Structure 1
Amino acid sequence: MLNEIIYRIGVMKRNPSMNACYKELKKTEFASREELDKLQNERLQELMVFCYQNSSYYRNIFLAQKVNPIESVFKVSDLRFLPILDKKTLIKENESIHTIKNYNFKKLFFSETSGSTGEALTFYKDERWDSYNRASINRGLSWFNVNPWDRNGYFWGFDFNFFKQFKIKFFDMLVNRFRLFSYSDKELSVFLKKCRKAKYLEGYSSMIYEVAKLANKNGIKIDNLSLIKGTSEKIYPYYHKETIKAFGCKIVSEYGAAESGIIAFECPEGQMHLNEETAIVEVVDGRVIVTNLIARSFPTIRYDLGDFVELSEEKCSCGREHKVLKEVTGRVGSNILGENSTFYPSLTLYYVFKNIALQHGIELAYRCEQKVLGQLDVYIEHDMTKKLVKILDNEFKKYFNGNVSCNYYSTQSVRVKGKKLKDFVSFI
């Protein structure tokens, strides 16, 4: 009861509109397809008018495309006529995209993110935008009978500075949270002991996987959790075997970005439903393009998030008619460079290891690095047997045509300590 009171006081102070946003989201979570389409068109029209009036960047875009949303109705189907926005543009045109000089927002939050690209992006998030984002997370939690004030464990980053740890632990206490700061036996023992009184866990999926492996290795089983939520990283199928054994739950996916808010949340039936009340999702050449319907202080219309995804028309048995994000197949990133100036998209790795899982029944945790032209270092959480090397060689040859040679390394963990897991990193 006390934790709920503290939480609600914090919400009233920081996000006064959040309760209203949450009620709206709960009201439409079982809306019909027609109702969702109507809502998206209405919110898109409002967004377009606002941007035309308050953002010099978008006003110029609209004028160039001969679009005036004040004089004519702009629908979701019309988005295709507007240019796609990338992160470099968000950084370069940062000031002209912002609307904070032309519109008086009651409250703004400073946000900074580098994401997976390493490019620093800063922007101001208006209170309603921030509230809808938090309310979207809370709606997802509610699907698993979890409240945001329930006791929870957090896997998110490392900071070994004593004073910063003390500050973090103090704020964690206020929100009924505890977190793991290192993989030491003592820290791990304390963390797992606290898990026995927690309702849910959340954070980097690769960290959750690592802790699940350690728990299983030590014969520790936690069976009181209602939810394990993974975010910010891709969730690989082989993670679930370890987390189900250790914690009794698979990792549920929450997909989003700081610039775009929550884009999708996995339901109890295992389908990732798009958060259509706050975002329009297009797939162009396999890439996810997102329009944030709520953001006003820093609008992002047709933003290329940098991921390859697949959408599905499949109806979910949970009854929600929000479109389904079938899979985030990979990150749009550096190319793997072969000999003779040939190059291959890093997404190739996804298909290599997916084929091995499907055809040979071997699910491999992997990380690949390239430091030399025409060579790929492949780190795998598996014994490097002659049979496995042959399987790997045959599969890589299908895609690289002999232009890339692979060096295989067996490792206890593919995760680089203290960093977000990336399946491919180029040092060239």
Structure 2
Amino acid sequence: MKKFQSLSKQEISRYQSERLKELLAHAIKNVPAYKDLDHELIRSASNPADSIQHFPILTKKYFNENSESYISNTADRSQLIANRTGGSTGEPTRFYLDRVTVEHFEAARWLGLSWSGIQIGDPSVMVWGSSIELSKNQSQIHQLKEVFLKNRTIISAYDLKEESIRKYLDQIHSFKPNYLYGYPSALALLAELMIRNNLRLRIKLNAVVTTAETLQPQQREVIETAFDCKVINEYGARDGGIIAYECPEGNMHISAKNCYLEVVDIHTKQPLGYNEKGLLLVTDLNNYSMPRIRYQLGDVVSLSDKPCGCGNHLPILGSLEGREDDVFVSRDGSYVHGNYFNQVMWNLESFSGYQLIQHTHEDVSLKLVKNVGSHDFERDEQVFRDEIMKKLGNIHLSISFVNEIPRSSSGKIRYAVREFPLVTTPTSVEKEKEFTTLNL
């Protein structure tokens, strides 16, 4: 991968085309889920980028219902590695990987970390949660593996408390990590507790690595202030691998050796160009055991064609907005991404946390966590209310105050949640169903 990132853009593009061509040929020959596609139409396309357009977009729901049909006839089932997503946005997705795919995922992570001087085996402290249910014995074995095989220890992201802040710092000092790794929300909370109690680390970190949630600018700022080092953003998913990593220049470089990415319009599902925000589709170029082609990960992103001054020629992810479920629908039918409300909220000093939930087109609820020491609650609440109404229209908005925003089963915090599908009219639903049937 180090050699690959130094190739020219043309060489990287050519490599992707060759690998994509091989994968698509394998899928239509050996994967039951793709046996009914028009193989001749796919083969006759002028290039692999056109060929892949004849494959249907694969949603998580459809994959969950038909996962067995995506296992290749050539796969050695005894060697498949079972995995699943954390289920932070609903039902977990269960899938299989093979050893080759797993090692490519890990190589991509260590490549990204190496750009900031972090090497394999460097000690780290994770601020983390896990959806995997372990018995007491399994948990002890898991922790031993973490410490002795991976050289890392874990601080639970589930129950960070102000009264325990010195205990967390003692754990960090004792382990002497090169870097911290975890959820932006949990790391930002840890940083805020340190600042509030006028505490600093006695050791110098190389970096703090954030992952699994959308990193907000104010979170980056408070983390860098408290830990006196740079924040590196990692973008990946259990069911998508390491997709992009932040370089020292601040750009998110795509793991082009591992994956082929497409961005499509949220509603029409038509391909979008550079710098246009839409749904991300991921095709893993290494997993021949259970190929998932044009897999809709659920995130809203854009691709960029700009060069990077770091000397790395891997393509760049232009923006990372968050999940499709974070996109709200206004009364006039326009889309409003939850990131808009993030920007509003983090400029209000009265609140330290929030969660905005759109239950229907008309009903929205807002949970707010009051910031200790602030006296402008009513003013800032009104500002937030006005911005929500301005963007979403004449809705019914209920506001409540809570002590904290609950984490999902996987340990993440979801700030913006839409509880209904983007396509809600009967006609549209039927058309989508018909399209899916014809293509699958």
**TM-score bracket relative to the smaller structure:** 0.7 to 0.9
Deviation digits for residues 224-249 of structure 1 (CA, Å, limit 9, x no counterpart): 11121111111111112221122113
Alignment partners' CA distance in 1, 2:61 and 2:264: 18
1:201 Cα offset (Å): 1.1
In the alignment, structure 1 residue 111 sits paired with structure 2 residue 83:
yes
In the alignment, structure 1 residue 199 sits paired with structure 2 residue 178:
yes
In the alignment, structure 1 residue 215 sits paired with structure 2 residue 194:
yes
Match of 2:366 in 1: 377
Match of 2:274 in 1: none
Match of 1:266 in 2: 246
Report if aligned partners of 1:356, 1:391 keep a CA contact under 8 Å in 2.
Answer: no
Q: Which of 314, 317, 323 is equivalent to 1:325?
A: 317
| 3-state SS, counterpart of residue 66 of structure 1 | helix
Alignment partners' CA distance in 2, 1:417 and 1:85: 25
Report if aligned partners of 2:122, 2:177 keep a CA contact under 8 Å in 1.
Answer: yes
Summarize the Cα distance change of 1:269–1:134 in structure 2 as closer, same or farther, 3 Å threshold. Answer: same
The count of aligned residue pairs is 395
| 3-state SS, counterpart of residue 109 of structure 2 | helix
Match of 1:400 in 2: 392
Deviation digits for residues 257-316 of structure 1 (CA, Å, limit 9, x no counterpart): 222211111111111111111111111011111111111111111111111112222222
Report if aligned partners of 1:367, 1:424 keep a CA contact under 8 Å in 2.
Answer: yes
Opposite residue 12 of structure 2, the aligned amino acid is L
Q: How does 1:288-307 map to 2 (within 5 A)?
A: 288-307=280-299
- TM-score of the superposed pair, with normalisation by structure 2: 0.80
Alignment partners' CA distance in 1, 2:333 and 2:399: 17
Alignment partners' CA distance in 2, 1:40 and 1:336: 34
RMSD over equivalenced CA pairs, Å? 3.1
Unpaired runs of 5+ residues, structure 1, are 1-24
Q: How does 1:28-427 map to 2 (within 5 A)?
A: 28-63=4-39, 66-68=41-43, 74-99=47-72, 101-104=73-76, 107-157=79-129, 163-174=137-148, 175-181=150-156, 182-184=159-161, 188-196=165-173, 197-222=176-201, 224-285=204-265, 286-333=278-325, 342=331, 347-354=336-343, 365-369=353-357, 374-380=363-369, 382=371, 383=374, 384-407=376-399, 409=401, 411=403, 413-414=404-405, 416=407, 419-425=411-417
Opposite residue 210 of structure 2, the aligned amino acid is G
| 3-state SS, counterpart of residue 325 of structure 2 | coil
Report if aligned partners of 2:115, 2:248 keep a CA contact under 8 Å in 1.
Answer: yes
My pick for the range that moved more, 248-257 or 271-280, is 248-257
Alignment partners' CA distance in 2, 1:121 and 1:276: 24
Alignment partners' CA distance in 2, 1:376 and 1:33: 47
My pick for the range that moved more, 146-155 or 328-337, is 328-337
Summarize the Cα distance change of 1:41–1:408 in structure 2 as closer, same or farther, 3 Å threshold. Answer: same
Match of 2:428 in 1: none
Unpaired runs of 5+ residues, structure 2, are 266-277, 421-440
Deviation digits for residues 384-408 of structure 1 (CA, Å, limit 9, x no counterpart): 5343233223312211222232425
1:417 Cα offset (Å): 8.0
Opposite residue 354 of structure 1, the aligned amino acid is Q
- TM-score of the superposed pair, with normalisation by structure 1: 0.82
Deviation digits for residues 178-222 of structure 1 (CA, Å, limit 9, x no counterpart): 111343568643432242411011122211111111122222222
Alignment partners' CA distance in 1, 2:384 and 2:208: 32
Summarize the Cα distance change of 1:72–1:235 in structure 2 as closer, same or farther, 3 Å threshold. Answer: closer
Tell me which of the two structures has the higher relative contact order, counting C-alpha pairs closer than 8 angstroms and 6 or more residues apart: 2
Summarize the Cα distance change of 1:29–1:334 in structure 2 as closer, same or farther, 3 Å threshold. Answer: closer
